[in-house]
Structure 1
Amino acid sequence: MNWRQRLGAFIGGFDAGQHHRRLRGFRATRAHVNALIAAAGPDITARARWLVRNNGYAVNAVESWAANTVGDGIKPISKIGDAGSKEELQRLWLAWTDEADAEELTDFYGLQRRAAREVFIAGEVFFRIRMRRTSDGLTVPLQLQMLPSEMLPLEQSGIAANGNAIRQGIEFDRIGRRVAYHFLRRHPGDSTDPELSGETVRVPSSEVIHIIDPVEGGQLRGVSKLAPAIVKLFLLDQYDDAELDRKKVAAMYAMFVTSPAPENPLAPAEDDEMPDGVEISPGQIVRLDPGEDVTVGQPADSGGTYEPFQYRTLLQISAALGIPYPYLANDMVKGNFSNSRLALIEFRRRVSAWQHAVMVFQLCRPVYARWMDAAVLSGALTLPRYEANRARLLTADWLPTKWDWVDPLKDANAEIAQIEAGLKSRTQAIAERGYDAEQVDREIAAERERERTLGLDFRRPGSPAQGVQMVSDANEDPEEDTPSETDDRDDAEDRPRPDEDQT
């Protein structure tokens, strides 16, 4: 026992800092997370990828995370004030998103989804910004190349030729800024291209986007979100396989024939004396030799412990991954409406925080800035005084895919009540659904005009939209709807007087 332990035992205070019998085997490392990732990172990532390829719960968790964090894509709505410039910019961006992937496998929003999967599995992912020639025929001469975590070797550390420090494949200058990444030319596990094995290339940090969700201060590289659950997922998979094998044996009608002991038990049995087994068919009468006995195999059953054990283990895995149990196990039976709603709200808060702190800040904004620079420099986009007003012109709202309502009618009525009470604006409500309020208003106005031209009205009677239209019609032609004084006199003359005969 060193002096720290003796002092802690003497002073007391925090149980968690004691070294008595209950915590004698609890030896926590004091190594920094960078040292731990350098030692165990490759094995963790390899095991996480193996589970995603072979374990149903793991792949379900990854797909659920990607679908909820990205969905159809986190899309920008420019804050440029000029309506014409804004519409031109949005149209150009939409055209470029189909050309964003250097591998031509998906669009920009598909790259977002792939990035979300990679960060969940490996803890990080890299994108290299590839500037293209004008002759390549792209809408904007810019593409993105996704590089997995294994492309930046963790073991590469030392001093570069220029005197900069290289730590886990990342080059830092003398004041600690990232200046370059030393990538492998090919994936270390891809043996289909042996010519480039082990070769590295230095890429300036201005051309690299590193997406990572750090868990500790000073962390350089990512760690898989599956790390806290890898052991339980693997052991639970083995346990399930054992249960399946036991059920398979139990489903077989196995019989064992016991014969009397031979006269010389040490003598080897002749081939014709070896039992071939007893095969039976329905209604068959089997006669055994004198002294032989038949025993039917009866494997032990798992009883009523299998389901509770599975449920509790999956709850622990769910907590470790941050994925609600119904999303992990596709089990919607055990949760009622209220509990499911509470779990969904908590999950959405976590997802929303991750969307804006990681995906938007680390990927969407840098790509948007480089795209706009390339669009203006190539002449694909015209924005007067761009260099002087660049910061203002780059502002945009990044809108994730809208959340599906748990109870659509109640949720919609609650939102309408909030808008009517002034607690939120229509612009905010529309933005939360992932749409641009100005574009929605233009579409609504165009539909209203088309309905008036064709004599149609698809609005629900008594809806606020119908009331607005009635007020608008009244303002357009007030003389037609307001009765004149002559009409009032005519109506008064037509009305019968009290003393006149009504017969």
Structure 2
Amino acid sequence: MFAALNDVRRRVGAFIGGFEAGLSSRRLKGFQPSRAHLNTLIAAAGPDITARARWLVRNNGYAANAIESWAGNVVGAGIKPSSLIKESETKTTIQKLWVDWTDEADAEGFTDFYGLQRRAAREVFIAGEVFFRFRPRRPQDGLTVPLQLQMLPSEMLPLNRNESVPGGNVIRQGIEFDAIGRRVAYHFLRRHPGDMTDFGMAGEMVRIPASEIVHVIDPVDAGQLRGVSRFAAGIVKLFLLDQYDDAELDRKKVAAMHALFITTPAPAEPLDAVEGRDENDERTIDLQPGQITMLEPGEEVQTSAPADVGQTYEPFQYRTLLQVSAALGVPYAYLSNDMLKANYSNSRLALLEFRRRIEAYQHAVIVWQLCRQVWARWMDTAAIAGALELPEYDRRRREYLACGWLPPKWDWVDPLKDARAEIEQIDAGLKSRTQALAERGYDAEQVDTEIAADKAREKSLGLTFGATPPAPEAQRPGDSEAATDAAATDTGQPA
């Protein structure tokens, strides 16, 4: 029945016309994309896409450069919090405790919290997602706040785990949902399926409540459950380009070798030259500088002349890398480190577009999904453990959790022009100093406190920095007589 309806629809579409993209014309006859939902496509191809993306990052220089550029621009030295609590002393205490805790945040001890942000940005770029598990610690562990984060790669949550569980819940791609579609748990493997150094039981599962898991993902479709690699649209071209480069490198290597071939009408007769034998018992002749070798009548020497690639290599590489950079969402110069084709105008245009994408990603993914959840859990743990004295925390929790997140500042393309434009916007009331400082990754109150402390220290030491007060203007002609007249009037004496 459905086949008949589809046939009728195609006939009607062909008769009416309209959108050429929806017709089955000669050019589009072979274009039959899948109508399956993205969850189905990820379940079928997700593990292979992730494995190939990781292989490219390990073995392909362009892929490695792209992901380092992405992580450096998204996170940099860290997206840092700025508490919005009005009590300055309480805010200072919270900020100091947070700075102390960031060094202890990683359960593996490899990096701090901002290093975990960078690793998260890398993982989401490669695999499309990453998981963090809250690990509460005991008071005797000696942490400033008894809480740490454990990073779990996407392979730890199997895509093929789909079943119903008692109580009406369902498990879809390793995530357990309740009757109204809320995430209630994640079913992780106890060990990485590809780690042969872990001697734990293969395939053993553990159920972890959703409140203990932070799922960082960059969703692209409505209803999407699991992530897909940003390399998905560029894997084929990157891999084939890598093979082409290897073949071209081998061709150049062979072309650089000086090879001679001697042809003779009587190959069975020995050559009248200095002969030798190689490891395969083949006849060879050693050539010496300035050597003259007499050949027998009929013999001739030919040199190898491999075909050259011509003038097509550079344009082909450039166009292919442009397509890869568009697929990855990374500017061509950031992908290839090729600055020869860049000038000020097109570099600035590319940077502005790239930074808009980065800012959207910082807010929607890193801040919203990771930073806010970690901050809330950290504040709750600090208040319960007594690391922070926060009166009426239960009632004022929303007020205490209020926080702004400051991404790393952008480096200016033209510092002088951009700084002048910033100052003019502040002077004209189009932007506040708080907003300008936040865009550079600084907290306005902290900056003002530091400025006041610097000025007080300079004054106590008799130092003067910055702009000097303007010198008094030179006395204009006539000012002297006016001053004399004013003095005479005050004293009653004639001028």
TM over 0.5: yes
- Name the counterpart of 2:475: none
Shift of 1:7: 1.9
Q: 2:231 aligns with which of 205, 214, 226?
A: 226
Aligned-partner Cα distance in 1 for 2:96–2:436 = 23
Is residue 348 of structure 1 aligned with residue 355 of structure 2?
yes
- Name the counterpart of 1:103: 108
Aligned-partner Cα distance in 2 for 1:357–1:90 = 24
- Name the counterpart of 1:389: 396
Is residue 60 of structure 1 aligned with residue 65 of structure 2?
yes
Is residue 5 of structure 1 aligned with residue 10 of structure 2?
yes
Kept in 2, the 8 Å contact 1:127–1:146? The answer is: yes
Is residue 365 of structure 1 aligned with residue 365 of structure 2?
no
Aligned-partner Cα distance in 2 for 1:442–1:274 = 84
Is residue 31 of structure 1 aligned with residue 36 of structure 2?
yes
Q: Which amino acid aligns with 2:19?
A: F
C-alpha change, 1:490 and 1:457, in structure 2 (3 Å) is farther
Is residue 454 of structure 1 aligned with residue 461 of structure 2?
yes
Write out per-residue CA displacement over residues 454-474 of structure 1, whole angstroms, 9 at most, x where no aligned residue.
211111346xxx99xx9xxxx
Q: Which amino acid aligns with 1:411?
A: D
Secondary structure at the residue paired with 2:338?
Answer: coil
Aligned-partner Cα distance in 1 for 2:267–2:218 = 72
Aligned-partner Cα distance in 2 for 1:260–1:225 = 62
Shift of 1:338: 0.4
Secondary structure at the residue paired with 2:285?
Answer: coil
Kept in 1, the 8 Å contact 2:53–2:235? The answer is: yes
Secondary structure at the residue paired with 1:154?
Answer: coil
- Name the counterpart of 1:325: 332
Q: 1:150 aligns with which of 128, 151, 155?
A: 155
- Name the counterpart of 2:176: 171
Write out per-residue CA displacement over residues 378-418 of structure 1, whole angstroms, 9 at most, x where no aligned residue.
00001111110111111111000000011011111110111
- Name the counterpart of 1:424: 431
Q: 2:198 aligns with which of 193, 200, 213?
A: 193
Structure 1 unaligned regions, length at least 5? 264-270, 471-487
Kept in 2, the 8 Å contact 1:255–1:278? The answer is: no
Is residue 445 of structure 1 aligned with residue 440 of structure 2?
no
Write out per-residue CA displacement over residues 317-359 of structure 1, whole angstroms, 9 at most, x where no aligned residue.
0000000000000011101100000000000000000000111
Kept in 2, the 8 Å contact 1:74–1:399? The answer is: yes
Shift of 1:76: 0.5
Kept in 1, the 8 Å contact 2:190–2:200? The answer is: no
Shift of 1:4: 2.4
Q: Which amino acid aligns with 1:350?
A: R
Kept in 2, the 8 Å contact 1:211–1:359? The answer is: yes
Q: Which amino acid aligns with 1:197?
A: A
Q: Which amino acid aligns with 2:459?
A: R
Shift of 1:286: 1.7
- Name the counterpart of 2:487: 492
Q: 2:212 aligns with which of 207, 210, 226?
A: 207
Q: Which amino acid aligns with 2:199?
A: P
Shift of 1:289: 3.3
Kept in 2, the 8 Å contact 1:61–1:327? The answer is: yes
Is residue 45 of structure 1 aligned with residue 40 of structure 2?
no
Q: Which amino acid aligns with 1:352?
A: E
Over the matched positions of the two proteins, sequence identity in percent amounts to 68
Secondary structure at the residue paired with 1:194?
Answer: coil
Q: Which amino acid aligns with 2:105?
A: A
Matching of residues 216-295 of structure 1 within 5 Å: 216-260=221-265, 276-295=283-302
Kept in 2, the 8 Å contact 1:122–1:222? The answer is: yes
Q: Which amino acid aligns with 1:291?
A: G
Aligned-partner Cα distance in 1 for 2:61–2:457 = 51
The alignment yields a C-alpha RMSD, in angstroms, of 2.3
Shift of 1:262: 6.3
Write out per-residue CA displacement over residues 136-167 of structure 1, whole angstroms, 9 at most, x where no aligned residue.
11100110000000000111111124441111
Aligned-partner Cα distance in 2 for 1:402–1:374 = 30
Structure 2 unaligned regions, length at least 5? 1-5, 269-276, 473-482
Runs ≥4 residues deviating over 6 A: 271-274, 488-491
Shift of 1:493: 5.6
- Name the counterpart of 1:380: 387
Q: Which amino acid aligns with 2:227?
A: G
Matching of residues 126-137 of structure 1 within 5 Å: 126-137=131-142
- Name the counterpart of 1:338: 345
Aligned-partner Cα distance in 1 for 2:166–2:410 = 51
Count how many residue pairs are aligned between Structure 1 and Structure 2: 469
Q: Which amino acid aligns with 2:299?
A: E
Q: Which amino acid aligns with 1:317?
A: V
Shift of 1:494: 13
Q: Which amino acid aligns with 2:264?
A: S
Secondary structure at the residue paired with 2:283?
Answer: coil
- Name the counterpart of 1:69: 74
Is residue 113 of structure 1 aligned with residue 106 of structure 2?
no
Shift of 1:259: 2.6
Kept in 2, the 8 Å contact 1:181–1:205? The answer is: yes
Secondary structure at the residue paired with 2:361?
Answer: helix
Aligned-partner Cα distance in 1 for 2:190–2:281 = 63
Shift of 1:489: 8.1
Q: 2:143 aligns with which of 138, 141, 146?
A: 138
Q: Which amino acid aligns with 1:436?
A: D
With normalisation by structure 2, the TM-score equals 0.91
Secondary structure at the residue paired with 2:234?
Answer: helix
Q: Which moved more, 1:413-422 or 1:111-120?
A: 413-422
Kept in 1, the 8 Å contact 2:191–2:200? The answer is: no
